[in-house]
């Protein structure tokens, strides 16, 4: 799986610069966390991309609460999906000499200057969920198995189309096809979007090759399928355009690969406005998702959205806190993967978490029995 996980955004990558032991707290840096300091004297800088996606709000809250419970001071900032704002927030945190940085980037390759400055100041940096690329000065990465997210999305689509059975084996009574699908990807400046796409396409490819599946728009490149900044409206508009261009005269569309719940809901709006559905039982195409947002879990419970992916952000926040604490105590966080995430300049030691596929038949078990949402929240489609 080497080198598959990094998609260079315009830079030339070589394996030459790979050093696992590099750490921002070492080298030319003057400062760095003082291992003898009291937690209350230590500040963790946390930058998050946006509050428009539910998950980043939960991630932020979980990180902040967890660190504060341990006595640390937290400076947390959201950047409204604006890259210069995020750069300024980091510049300011570095000037104020925070002791460690947790960074969920907007554009993973746009923060090299800040990462260099952090390293020079001895501030360790942790990439959160999204890989920071094109920089040697990334010390650790906490994330989910992002390739597996894409595999799960595609498998759920194949299951929804009747091509796989409930054990995700080829179904005995699979339709012959061709079945029509359309493909959506996330924002190209987010390394994750490429991994989700690759996992999904690798899984769908045999069915596309043998003609069981077809993409009537012909839009099969990630560039054509991408959704800049992961915006719901952009996905809805693209779906509307696909429908008016390629699905007139009652032409059937069976499924849509959608990489995140807000995009799924935009796509579902477009499909319903076109007179499809309103539920899967009534002919709505099966639409995938990601993040288990409450509005989408309700749609799954109501038989409207087909699937999502559960990534427990409580666990991710916990891992970020564990990593931050290791740096603050003068140590190195423990990685469970030191091979996969090549950022173009180094392989970033990582801690990867597992993901789960959520469907109508298991959302109660995964989302409610686990205590993530209450039954009432799922019924209303809103968290309390």
Residue ranges binding ligand BGC (CB under 6 A) = 53, 55, 129-130, 186, 190, 192, 230, 260, 290-291
Q: Minimum distance between the CB of residue 297 and ligand BGC, rounded to whole angstroms?
A: 14
Q: Minimum distance between the CB of residue 176 and ligand BGC, rounded to whole angstroms?
A: 34
Whose Cβ is closer to ligand BGC: residue 217's or residue 264's?
Answer: 264
Q: Minimum distance between the CB of residue 112 and ligand BGC, rounded to whole angstroms?
A: 19
For 202-205, which contacts have Cβ atoms below 8 Å and span 24 or more sequence positions? 202/150, 202/151, 202/154, 203/150, 203/151, 203/154, 203/155, 203/158, 204/154, 204/157, 204/158, 204/257
142-174 burial: b if 16+ Cβ within 10 Å, else e: bbbbbbbbbbbbbbbbbbbbebbeeeeeebeeb
Whose Cβ is closer to ligand BGC: residue 99's or residue 198's?
Answer: 198
Bridge-based pairing state of the strands 307-310 and 286-287: unpaired
Q: Minimum distance between the CB of residue 211 and ligand BGC, rounded to whole angstroms?
A: 31
Whose Cβ is closer to ligand BGC: residue 135's or residue 264's?
Answer: 264
Q: Minimum distance between the CB of residue 146 and ligand BGC, rounded to whole angstroms?
A: 7
Task: Output phi, psi for 303, to 5 deg.
Answer: 75, 30
Tokens at residue 262, please?
């807000």
Q: Minimum distance between the CB of residue 145 and ligand BGC, rounded to whole angstroms?
A: 11
Task: Output phi, psi for 314, to 5 deg.
Answer: -65, -40
Whose Cβ is closer to ligand BGC: residue 43's or residue 143's?
Answer: 143
For residues 232 and 52, what is the distance between their CA atoms, to the nearest angstrom? 10
Q: Minimum distance between the CB of residue 55 and ligand BGC, rounded to whole angstroms?
A: 5
Which residue has the closest beta carbon to ligand BGC?
A: 260
CA dihedral 288, 292, 296, 300 (to 10 degrees): 70
For residue 88, with 0-12 CB atoms within 10 Å meaning exposed, 13-18 middle and 19 or more buried, which class applies? Answer: middle
For residues 295 and 292, what is the distance between their CA atoms, to the nearest angstrom? 8
Tell me the three state secondary structure of residue 230: helix
Q: Are 106 and 81 in contact (CB under 8 A)?
A: yes
Point out which residues pair with 138 in neighbouring strands.
none
């Amino acid at each position: 799986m080497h080198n598959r996980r990094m998609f260079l955004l315009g830079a030339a990558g070589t394996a030459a610069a790979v050093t696992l032991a590099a750490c921002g707290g070492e080298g030319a840096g003057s400062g760095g966390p003082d291992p003898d300091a009291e937690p209350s004297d230590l500040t963790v800088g946390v930058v998050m991309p946006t509050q428009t996606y539910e998950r980043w709000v939960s991630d932020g809250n979980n990180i902040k609460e967890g660190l504060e419970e341990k006595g640390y001071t937290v400076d947390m900032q959201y950047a409204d999906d604006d890259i210069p704002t995020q750069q300024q927030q980091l510049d300011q945190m570095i000037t104020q000499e925070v002791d460690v940085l947790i960074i969920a980037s907007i554009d993973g390759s746009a923060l090299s200057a800040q990462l260099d400055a952090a390293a020079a100041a001895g501030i360790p940096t942790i990439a959160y969920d999204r890989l920071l690329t094109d920089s040697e000065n990334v010390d650790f990465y906490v994330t989910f198995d992002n390739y597996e997210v894409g595999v799960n999305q595609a498998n759920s689509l194949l299951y929804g189309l009747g091509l796989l059975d409930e054990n995700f084996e080829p179904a005995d009574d699979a339709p012959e096809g061709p079945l029509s699908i359309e493909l959506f990807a996330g924002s190209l400046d987010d390394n994750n979007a490429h991994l989700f796409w690759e996992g999904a396409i690798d899984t769908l490819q045999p069915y596309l090759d043998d003609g069981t599946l077809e993409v009537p728009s012909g839009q099969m490149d990630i560039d054509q399928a991408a959704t800049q900044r992961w915006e719901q409206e952009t996905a809805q508009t693209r779906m509307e355009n696909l429908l008016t261009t390629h699905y007139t005269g009652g032409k059937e569309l069976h499924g849509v690969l959608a990489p995140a719940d807000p995009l799924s809901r935009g796509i579902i709006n477009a499909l319903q406005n076109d007179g499809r559905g309103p539920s899967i039982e009534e002919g709505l195409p099966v639409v995938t998702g990601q993040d288990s947002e409450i509005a989408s879990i309700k749609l799954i419970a109501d038989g409207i959205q087909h699937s999502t992916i559960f990534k427990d952000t409580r666990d991710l926040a916990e891992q970020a806190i564990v990593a931050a604490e290791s740096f603050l105590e003068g140590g190195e966080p423990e990685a469970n993967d030191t091979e996969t995430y090549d950022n173009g300049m180094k392989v970033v030691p990582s801690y990867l978490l597992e993901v789960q596929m959520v469907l109508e038949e298991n959302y109660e078990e995964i989302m409610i029995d686990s205590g993530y949402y209450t039954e009432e929240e799922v019924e209303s489609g809103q968290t309390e």
